[in-house]
Amino acid sequence: MAGLRRKLPPLTGMTVFEAAARLGSFTRAAAELGVTQAAVSRQIHLLEEAFGFPLFRRLHRRIELTEKGRLLSSATTSAFNLIADTVSDITKDEASDELAISATVAFSHFWLLPKISAFSRTYPQVKLRIITQDKSTDIESDDIDLAIRYGNGMWPDGQAEFLFDDEIFPVCSPEYLREIGEISTLAELVQYPLIANDTGDPTWTGWNEWLAAFSVQGPKRSTGLRCSFYTEAIYAALNGQGIALGWKRLVEDLLNQNRLVRLTDAAISTRNGYFVVLPRRQKKKEHAELLVRWLRTSSGAS
């Protein structure tokens, strides 16, 4: 052990070096560590004196790792991550089997929450924490055990397993359908308020794309309500404010309860699908596999 200690550089200096190399700045490293920039510079200088070679090139208003600095940075990051993961494993409350699940507002609200009680009844020992947000999350750094996402399955922060795809068709409330009467052709849809939701997600299907799939031109000027979120669009449809696009997996319960009705048999299949995404680096919790199997069974995935 004494021999190992002689080979290792001072850990204080290595902590400072890891932050400076990762952030590419002595100033940002000082802010993260809660010390002065001068203290960071001194620790790096001491390391370089001990090694006998520079770790950074000091350029005009920026720093740059030397080749040896890059090698040391890679090894330091890997070692610190291993230590952090091990400490997390050995200090966690062994009695807690809490699983943190990330999902979008719409998926959580319309699909997950109505069904998750069945999982809890089957596995009462597993505690669940549902993190609902539409902004992108990084499951490696946000302490998430698994995420349910819609897309093409290609995410750098996790390993994706396909759950199901979807189909999209127009829906409205039964009361609204009685008010407007049956729709005999898709071209008639544009005569009525089409409820839409704003999204920057290129994988999301809106009215123009849906209508174009059937060679129907969208309305030149929409008279329908525009919402910020898909959940708002569905609630607007429930309240008789027009016609929304129903994603079958999300509105299935509302259709079964006759709170929404489907206006036509016409539908388009989604280009992408829903996936459960597990972190790559973290050791998977035992009960995460239970939840993944339950999700696949509940979704009808093989």
CA 196 vs. chain centroid, Å, equals 23
In the chain, the DSSP E strands lie at 56-59, 62-65, 99-103, 128-132, 146-151, 158-164, 167-172, 196-197, 226-227, 244-247, 261-262, 268-269, 273-279
Instruction: Tell me what percent of the chain is helix, strand and coil, each rounded to the nearest 5.
Output: 45, 20, 35
Question: Residue length, the chain?
Answer: 302
Radius of gyration over every alpha carbon of the chain, rounded to an integer in angstroms: 27
H helix or E strand, kind and range, residue 210: helix 207-212
For residue 283, pLDDT beyond 70: no
Q: What is the β-pairing status of strands 99-103 and 146-151?
A: parallel
Predicted confidence (pLDDT) per residue in 154-173, tens digit: 988 888 999 999 999 999 99
pLDDT, one tens digit per residue, over 176-230 is: 999 999 998 999 999 999 999 877 677 788 999 999 999 998 887 777 898 888 9
Indicate whether 246 pLDDT > 90: yes
Neighbours of 294 (CB within 10 A): 17
Architecture of domain 167-269: 3-Layer(aba) Sandwich (3.40)
- Tell me what the pLDDT averaged over the chain comes to: 87
pTM flag (> 0.85) = no
Q: Does residue 90 have a pLDDT over 80? A: no
Question: What is the rounded average pLDDT of the residues 126-141?
Answer: 82
pLDDT for 94-132, tens place per residue? 435 688 999 999 999 999 999 999 999 998 988 999 999
Which pLDDT belongs to residue 53? 94
Q: According to the model, what pLDDT value does residue 1 have?
A: 44
Q: Has residue 302 got a pLDDT over 50?
A: no
Tell me, what amino acid is at 149? R
Backbone φ and ψ of 99, nearest 5°: -115, 130
One-character DSSP codes across 83-97: HHHHHHHHHS-TT--
Identical topology for domains 99-165+272-299 and 167-269: yes
Say how far apart CA 157 and CA 155 lie, in whole Å: 6
Q: Does domain 2-91 have CATH number 1.10.645.10?
A: no
Domain map (residue ranges) of the chain: 2-91, 99-165+272-299, 167-269
Give the distance from CA 248 to its chain's centroid.
Answer: 21
Query: CATH for 99-165+272-299, among 3.80.30.20, 3.50.50.60, 3.40.190.10, 3.40.50.300?
Result: 3.40.190.10
